Amino acid sequence: AQTVTQSQPEMSVQEAETVTLSCTYDTSESDYYLFWYKQPPSRQMILVIRQEAYKQQNATENRFSVNFQKAAKSFSLKISDSQLGDAAMYFCAYRSLGGAGGSEKLVFGKGTKLTVNP
């Protein structure tokens, strides 16, 4: 079974600075998807960024980028120019390809609480 580990329960960053959240995962599959979700105090789960394992290029979405190291099974999230609105819980998630009757369930890490200081 796949597992996802987020080793940083809490992180803090100064507004306008850069912060990196860590995530490692364990899988025997060669193709899969990885995601970062944001959960603000409203509790809504919001997709921040996603990465296909077969793509070597790291995904980027505006101020959010990932460092995907497939061999090391590492998937970190970098937030540049941090804003107060970035304060939230961040969850790393793994998803199998599914197919052949399989499920595309998400396997989540425990989360990292990010505080942004003004």
Which one, 44 or 62, has the nearer CB to another protein? Answer: 44
Among 36, 49, 75, 111, binds another protein (CB under 8 A): 111
User: Nearest distance from residue 12's CB to another protein, in Å?
Assistant: 21
33 binds another protein (CB under 8 A): yes
x/- mask, another protein, residues 62-101, rule CB under 8 A, reads: -----------------------------x-----xxx-x
Total binding residues toward another protein, as defined by CB under 8 A: 24
Contacts of 14 (CB under 8 A, 6+ apart): 82, 116, 117
Count Cβ neighbours within 10 Å for each residue of 44-77 and write b for 16 or more, e otherwise: eeeebbebebeeeeebeeeebbbbbeeeebebbb
Q: Contact residues for another protein (CB under 8 A)?
A: 33, 42-47, 50, 52, 91, 97-99, 101-111
